[in-house]
Structure 1
């Protein structure tokens, strides 16, 4: 696919609200790779395709605001999980679709947004499939999903996977581009990212 001449009718959300426990307690979105924070790589990618780039974070807001003015904490209690971060994006959205990525997948390209948006259908949630597994934090949600997310959170649900598994979904095939979803969980994985991808 080629880059669209205009931005897609969606906003992009970067999830950067975790504690980074497997990364030594570091804020993963601000860990540096190739001279930029991990979240900046996602922001640069989303800025090419999405109307707005939103960032959900629970610390270091000033640093994230250098990437986009649309920065906010969880509205459901700090560190309540990625689904709370997704729900917190609703007041900041300008479009009817929200494209999501965690902050720790810096190999994403604009192809992610283009393919996800082109494959959308009705009000179904779309989720990326890498050929082996569903990528639960790489999904495209219609705005109509937020009422259901609220009910799930109010029932003490927190798991994105369990919530998505309870909803009608469609898979968007990325089996030819699984490397885009390589995610960084530890400092060692970050240090070896280039070599692990054969770069």
Structure 2
């Protein structure tokens, strides 16, 4: 499938985490190889999507340099990544009503694959289901996925009424395909959760260049 053969898709960069293992602050703003992780994610996602938005809570001005719309959760008490995905679906429904799909990525994944969106769509279409999720090294990455805007009311009900927080529980309800990526030379879903991960990412770039 070519990069342009799939339905137009809006990308959401999920930056709403609490970054406890990083000692607080915004993980995506940490630098690797002289550039922020967030800048790396934007560079990889922008050619794959019709537009990008950023999901983050707190003062949106700290992300003003990106030029991206910043959409906050409207589910209280840090309800987790599903709340960020819901915020993105609601934003797209309001601002881009012609768009049927949102692709989400963790904003701390500096080696995100450049065929991410097209391969998620290919997996979804082959399986005949409305959702898709990334996989590598035998592990699923639930926050890295493809979401149908049409399911946003059900997602809100799951979060608000059912108090559902586990992504896999909700996606299993509707049907989710998995798209697998190789992990050589680097796992494309490597995420920088700790200072040690930052050091590892620096070493990977030094060894392999801009992967």
Name segments (4+ residues, structure 1) moved above 3 Å.
Answer: 1-4, 175-178
Partner of 1:76: 75
SS state at 1:179 partner: coil
Partner of 1:170: 177
Q: How does 1:39-118 map to 2 (within 5 A)?
A: 39-93=38-92, 94=96, 95-118=99-122
Cα separation, 2, equivalents of 1:151 and 1:87: 11
Q: How does 1:1-199 map to 2 (within 5 A)?
A: 4=4, 9-93=8-92, 94=96, 95-121=99-125, 122-154=128-160, 155-175=162-182, 179-196=187-204, 198-199=207-208
Q: Are the structure 2 counterparts of residues 195 and 170 from structure 1 closer, same or farther at C-alpha, using a change threshold of 3 Å?
A: same
Q: Are the structure 2 counterparts of residues 53 and 7 from structure 1 closer, same or farther at C-alpha, using a change threshold of 3 Å?
A: farther
Unaligned runs of 5+ in 2: none
Cα separation, 2, equivalents of 1:111 and 1:91: 25
Instruction: Give the alignment's Cα RMSD to 1 decimal.
Output: 2.3
Q: How many aligned positions are there?
A: 198
Q: Are the structure 2 counterparts of residues 131 and 167 from structure 1 closer, same or farther at C-alpha, using a change threshold of 3 Å?
A: farther
Q: Which moved more, 1:107-116 or 1:162-171?
A: 162-171
Report if the CA contact (8 A) 1:13-1:101 is conserved.
yes
Unaligned runs of 5+ in 1: none
1:3, CA displacement in angstroms? 5.4
What is the TM-score of this pair, normalised by structure 1? 0.88
Q: Are the structure 2 counterparts of residues 192 and 43 from structure 1 closer, same or farther at C-alpha, using a change threshold of 3 Å?
A: same
Per-residue deviation, residues 90-128 of structure 1 (Å, max 9, x unmatched): 232121110010111110132112212233325520111
Report if the CA contact (8 A) 1:16-1:55 is conserved.
yes
Q: Which moved more, 1:80-89 or 1:105-114?
A: 105-114
Higher helix share: 2
Q: Are the structure 2 counterparts of residues 145 and 76 from structure 1 closer, same or farther at C-alpha, using a change threshold of 3 Å?
A: same
Per-residue deviation, residues 73-100 of structure 1 (Å, max 9, x unmatched): 1111252211101101123212111001
